[in-house]
Amino acid sequence: MTQAEIKLCSLLLQEHFGEIVEKIGVHLIRTGSQPLRVIAHDTGTSLDQVKKALCVLIQHNLVIYQVHKRGVVEYEAQCSRVLRMLRYPRYIYTAKTLYSDTGELIVEELLLNGKMTMSAVVKKVADRLTETMEDGKTMDYAEVSNTFMRLADTHFVQRCPWVPATENSDPGPLPPAPILVISEKDMYLVPKLSLIGKGKRRRSSDEDATGEPKAKRTKHSTDNKEPIPDDGIYWQANLDRFHQHFRDQAIVSAVANRMDQTSSEIVRTMLRMSEITTPSAAPFTQPLSSNEIFRSLPVGYNISKQVLDQYLTLLADDPLEFVGKSGDSGGGMYVINLHKALGSLATATLESVVQERFGSRCARIFRLVLQKKHLEQKQVEDLAMIPAKEAKDMLYKMLSGNFISLQEIPKTPDHAPSRTFYLYTVNILSAARMLLHRCYKSIANLIERRQFETKENKRLLEKSQRVEAIIASMQATGAEEAQLQEIEEMITAPERQQLETLKRNVNKLDASEIQVDETIFLLESYIESTMKRQ
């Protein structure tokens, strides 16, 4: 793992789980798989703390364990999974767009808790939804269960591997760690539960008859020993499926930008039809005939068959090659070239970065070299129609930024520089890797800056929170307008302005993090797809 990735993982773990988990997590990422005692010894933390931290990390699928010979259990951290924590808001928002509030809360609970049983998820989500509904209305468990089943059917949530039940209770020595297995067909099997009930509204303490404080009451609720019907069957969010969805979204919006709305709808239909038939890592979808596509178009679209055929031909002839024609049966068989589409998206990202960083003339040279693959210095000047000095300058700027590389072609076996061709070329894979590395660094910088800003103004933030709490409690007990005014004036005008600035800055930094993560997604998908093909 590169230093930038490790730094980013460290910041993410610290923000979400605290310093102890961060120390253990980063140590595991750095050193690879290690047994328990070595971790405790190397990090200098007590065994108890290490165990707690590892339990948390395993629960959230960030660390896996393996039994080695002689019964030693070794723990390994998954660095890429830690980086996914940046994308949680995007996953939750996607669930909201597809399955509305219920789906959103289900995915949120699963992501926050790592793994949960279905009954626990349904109960929690029903409670949360009931809170937001009007007085007197409650959320039924059945509705939440339905949404959960739909999520499982479309593969957005999946079962976690579990311990296979042994038939005989063998009295022999237990293995040091359970071996977890899962079979493909069981992964999305929803257990038959009859969850009956409604969400409970959390009552405020003065309505509660016994007047017990919250602490004791919660302890009671966890103590009730109802047998959980689906004990041991845990569910987790299926991040790969979400990634597939994001990739489809990116392709559809790219087609919409390049051509028009109708073609993007056609591409969306094709992708929807191939969701289940095509594995996510395939370079292109299964061939679809034009007749099938015509039948599966959304109901609102009434375009005739000929128009559809014309659109498909246009798409297939496009130089970007998103759609390809693979045969003529059934009115023409068309595929979507997923790998090429990801490549085009990554290339477009690179071009855009060059343009924003170095200017539009540099971008012109970059696109030229991309198109012609290999060019000499002289040819670049001539083809781009840019004066020699400037072209030279721009090429060297891009070269030092590692967007462009030099390819040497020797004329003689002794590689004498005077008798060697030097050609400029763009190696998309390595440029994508370089940009990805830069993105990780950017996000780490953004997070650090945000933490710095928050720390600088900590005193002010605390003060404003206290004032808000006072105002809220006074409003609840019914205070006059004048009193509220007085309390609000506790925060002076310049302080208010400072708070405004702080809020604006933190929002900007947060929004930047989310958008850099989108670029990271595109680049990572492209790199992954390329590596799988090799």
Partner 1 sequence: MAGNKGRGRAAYTFNIEAVGFSRGEKLPDVVLKPPPMFPDTHYKPVPLKAGEGEDYMLALKQELRETMKRMPYYIERPEEKQDIERYSKRYMKAYKEEWIPDWRRLPREMMPRKKCKKAGPKSEKAKDTSKGVSLTNTADVLKKIEELEKRGDGEKSDEENEEKEGGKEKSKEGDEEDDDDAVEQEEYDEEEQEEENDYINSYFEDGDDFGAESDDNMDEATY
Kindly identify the residues of this chain, within the stretch 471-510, that bind partner 1 according to CB under 8 A: 507-508, 510
The H or E element that residue 67 is part of is strand 63-67
| φ, ψ for residue 320, nearest 5 deg | -75, -20
For residues 285 and 270, is the Cβ–Cβ distance under 8 A? yes
Asked if residue 327 binds partner 1 (CB under 8 A), the reply is no
Nearest to 156 by CA among 236, 238, 271, 67: 238
Binding of residue 442 to partner 1 (CB under 8 A)? no
Q: Which of 534, 375, 516 is nearest to 83 (CA)?
A: 516
Q: With respect to partner 1, which residue has the nearer C-beta, 234 or 235? A: 234
Q: Where are the alpha helices (DSSP H) in 401-492?
A: 428-456, 458-476, 481-488
Tell me: does residue 410 bind partner 1 (CB under 8 A): no
Q: Within 381-400, which residues bind partner 1 (CB under 8 A)?
A: 388, 391-392, 395
Helix axes 3-17, 428-456, angle to 10 degrees: 40
**Smallest separation, CB 395 to partner 1 (Å):** 8
Region binding partner 1 by CB under 8 A among candidate stretches 2-10, 146-154, 302-310, 375-383: 375-383
CB 106 within 8 A of CB 125: yes
For residue 81, state whether it binds partner 1 (rule: CB under 8 A).
Answer: no
Among 6, 8, 56, 394, binds partner 1 (CB under 8 A): 56
Q: Which is nearer to partner 1, 234 or 366 (CB)?
A: 234
Contact between residue 354 and residue 363 where contact means Cβ atoms under 8 Å apart = yes
| Stretch in the footprint of partner 1 (CB under 8 A) among 133-141, 211-219, 431-439, 519-527 | 211-219
Report the side by side order of strands in the sheet with 374-375. Answer: 374-375, 420-425, 405-410
Select the residue interacting with partner 1 from 141, 188, 234, 242 (CB under 8 A).
234
Give me the helices (H) in 231-304, please. 239-258, 261-273, 290-296
- The residues in 9-38 that bind partner 1, with binding defined as CB under 8 A, are 15-21, 36
Rule CB under 8 A: which of 306-325 touch partner 1? none
**Contact assessment for residue 262 and residue 256, using Cβ atoms and an 8 Å cutoff:** no
By beta-carbon proximity to partner 1, the closer residue of 336 and 443 is 443
Residue 72 or 479 having the CB closest to partner 1: 72
Asked if 218 interacts with partner 1 (CB under 8 A), we say yes
Kindly state whether residue 357 participates in binding partner 1, applying the rule CB under 8 A. Answer: yes
CB-based burial label for 122 (10 Å; 0-12, 13-18, 19+) = buried
Q: Which is nearer to partner 1, 140 or 513 (CB)?
A: 513
Contact positions with partner 1 (CB under 8 A) in 130-189: 162-163, 173-174, 176-178, 180
212 binds partner 1 (CB under 8 A): yes
**Residue closer to partner 1 (CB basis): 70 or 185:** 70
Q: Which pair of structure tokens corresponds to residue 298?
A: 């959304």
